[in-house]
Chain A
Amino acid sequence: MMVEGTVYRKIKNTSLAMYNEGLERAREHDLSSAEQLLKGSVRFDKGNVQARNLLGLVHLEMGEPAAAVRQWILSKNMQQDGNRAVVFLGMLEKDHSKLEKWNQAVKHYNQALRHVRLGSLDLAILQLRKAQQLNPKFVRAHGLMALCLGKTGQLQQAKKELQKVLELDGGNLLASRWLREMEHAEENRPKNRPLQEVKEKVLDEKKHTRQIMVNQSVQQFVAVVLGVVIGISVMAFLVTPGALNDRDARIGSLTTQVEGLESKNIRLEAEVRTLETQLEEKRGELEALGETYGDQSSYASQLKTVATVFGHYLRGNNEETVDAALAVEDARIQDPLLLELLAEVRGKVYPPAAQTAYNQGYALYNSRRYEEAIPLLEKSRKIAVDQRYSDDALYYLARCHQLLGRTDMAVSLFEQLLVDYPDSNMRNYTNNFLSQLKN
């Protein structure tokens, strides 16, 4: 080896540092960044089998089994003993049918790419759908699909594909950028929509209708619940004004009687006092009645909110469902069936919404758009705090505040992370930043 020892050590250390950073990114499911860092790691030191093995895993996770196999074979050739690459290759060999499915997905993707270059976007989309059916985690297929759908004017579908990319590969900057540009283009879209977009909207609505028809058991429950809602709403909104009017009429009547007796200046002062006592008692009872109906009015409004949640859910408007569900105050709902149904709907819509909010927030954090990242990361944490990325959401939220100079808020959030997630892999970074901020 001609290279001097110090330089050689520095090169090795650089390779290790890139491997460590790549490992962190892989843990955060930022697969694109992990891939680049690990490729860099093996460029510095091709004998770094750990980096090579991890690179293979990242390739596999992104839906590219051949690239993974290549890395593991190279790794095995460099080091036979005690090498995890041997184990990974063995596992793939055992599950040959899955490997073949994933390989077919790649073939469809490559065919789609050929179609795209020849300008046949419809054929490309067909090939990409096949690729996605064979391997739903194939990141590049979703990305290319988004491009094709965007080019053919199917913006809503394209956005969904980009969101899938971000779910699979949280730090995919290309997908984040496209999503932003598509949303910007949507805002500036002229009112006369092209036929393709109208067609897409109709197809979307038909798809929503199919979703509604599929969820039969929830529909039946909700039909019962809506019946209850309507019944109680009728009671609260029709009876209440009547009862209040009754109360006003009674008070008016008794007051008139008392005034009449007083004006006549009769010896029946005792009777007047008795009547006054009765008036007070009645007033007390009717005010209590008013409070009851006041509570019922509030209860009915909570039921209406719950019905709104179910309505959005049945129409497949997941984002609106989440917002409506967040607005419900559970303590005001007394019916256990309603609470149970609400919990079921939340269980379905909250986790993906929390993931999407986290992915978007994290992408903005990476783009240094901290003010924009904060509400998304907060939303993710509001919806779910027990997901595998919840500690990361809290960490990046703290980092955003730190980078915006809000030291007190950052310290508070970092401390919360240490308490709420004692096993978090962000613990060391958190402790370092806390030391810096407190000093």
Chain B
Amino acid sequence: MINFDEELDKFKPALELEEVEDAIYAYASKDITEILDEMVQELKKEREKQVK
């Protein structure tokens, strides 16, 4: 049976044109490559600390 409140939660506000600029400035999304890069760098730093 359709649960109104549950289904309603799935509806989020849509972006308006006036909000596009802010949305772009707020865009700090990293893709998978950058995330993996960060993970590799962190692992390297931890290894260097262990060696010391």
Bitwise interface map of A from 202 to 235 toward B, beta carbon under 8 Å scored 1, else 0 = 0000000000000000000000000000000000
* Interface members, chain A 50-104 (any B CB < 8 Å): 64-67, 69-70, 73-74, 99, 103
Bitwise interface map of A from 142 to 170 toward B, beta carbon under 8 Å scored 1, else 0 = 01100100110000000000000000000
B29 proximal to A (CB < 8 A): yes
Chain A residues near B16 (CB-CB < 8 A): 66, 103, 106-107, 110
| CB nearest neighbor in A for B36 | A3
| CB nearest neighbor in A for B41 | A2
* Interface members, chain B 21-52 (any A CB < 8 Å): 23-24, 27, 29-34, 36-37, 40-41, 44
Is the CB–CB distance between B37 and A3 below 8 Å? Answer: yes
Chain B residues near A140 (CB-CB < 8 A): 11, 14
Is the CB–CB distance between B14 and A147 below 8 Å? Answer: no
A178 proximal to B (CB < 8 A): yes
Chain B residues near A65 (CB-CB < 8 A): 17
Is the CB–CB distance between B31 and A44 below 8 Å? Answer: yes
Chain A residues near B36 (CB-CB < 8 A): 2-3, 7, 11
Chain B residues near A8 (CB-CB < 8 A): 33
A113 proximal to B (CB < 8 A): yes
Determine chain B's interface SS by DSSP, over half rule: helix
Chain A's nearest CB lies how many Å from the CB of B34? 8
A43–B36 Cα gap in the complex (Å)? 12
Is the CB–CB distance between A70 and B11 below 8 Å? Answer: no
Chain A residues near B10 (CB-CB < 8 A): 174
Chain A residues near B7 (CB-CB < 8 A): 147, 174, 178
Is the CB–CB distance between B32 and A45 below 8 Å? Answer: yes
A396–B36 Cα gap in the complex (Å)? 39
Is the CB–CB distance between A110 and B13 below 8 Å? Answer: yes
Chain A residues near B20 (CB-CB < 8 A): 66, 69-70, 73
| CB nearest neighbor in A for B31 | A46
Chain B residues near A74 (CB-CB < 8 A): 24, 27
Which of the listed residues A46, A107, A116 has the most CB atoms from chain B within 10 Å of its own CB?
A46
- The answer to whether residues A67 and B15 also contact, given A3-B40, A117-B8 and a CB cut-off of 8 A, is yes
Chain B's nearest CB lies how many Å from the CB of A168? 15
A146–B36 Cα gap in the complex (Å)? 43
Bitwise interface map of A from 376 to 417 toward B, beta carbon under 8 Å scored 1, else 0 = 000000000000000000000000000000000000000000
A109 proximal to B (CB < 8 A): yes
Which residue of B13, B17, B19, B32 is within 8 Å of A44 (Cβ)?
Answer: B32
Chain B residues near A3 (CB-CB < 8 A): 33, 36-37, 40
Chain B's nearest CB lies how many Å from the CB of A200? 17
A42 proximal to B (CB < 8 A): yes
Which residue of A45, A73, A113, A174 is within 8 Å of B33 (Cβ)?
Answer: A45
- The answer to whether residues A43 and B37 also contact, given A67-B14, A70-B23, A117-B8 and a CB cut-off of 8 A, is no
Chain B residues near A46 (CB-CB < 8 A): 29-31, 34
Is the CB–CB distance between A66 and B33 below 8 Å? Answer: no
Is the CB–CB distance between A11 and B33 below 8 Å? Answer: yes
A7–B33 Cα gap in the complex (Å)? 9
| CB nearest neighbor in B for A4 | B40
| CB nearest neighbor in A for B34 | A46
A335–B31 Cα gap in the complex (Å)? 68
Which of the listed residues B1, B4, B31, B37 has the most CB atoms from chain A within 10 Å of its own CB?
B31
The 5 closest A-B pairs by CB, nearest first: A66-B15, A46-B31, A2-B40, A103-B17, A106-B14
Given A110-B16, A147-B4, 19 more contacts at CB 8 Å?
A2-B40, A3-B33, A3-B36, A3-B40, A11-B32, A42-B31, A43-B31, A44-B31, A44-B32, A44-B33, A46-B30, A64-B15, A65-B17, A67-B15, A106-B15, A116-B11, A140-B14, A147-B11, A174-B7
Q: List 16 A-B contacts (CB under 8 A).
A: A2-B41, A43-B32, A45-B31, A66-B15, A70-B24, A74-B27, A103-B17, A107-B16, A109-B14, A110-B16, A113-B13, A117-B8, A147-B8, A150-B2, A178-B7, A181-B2
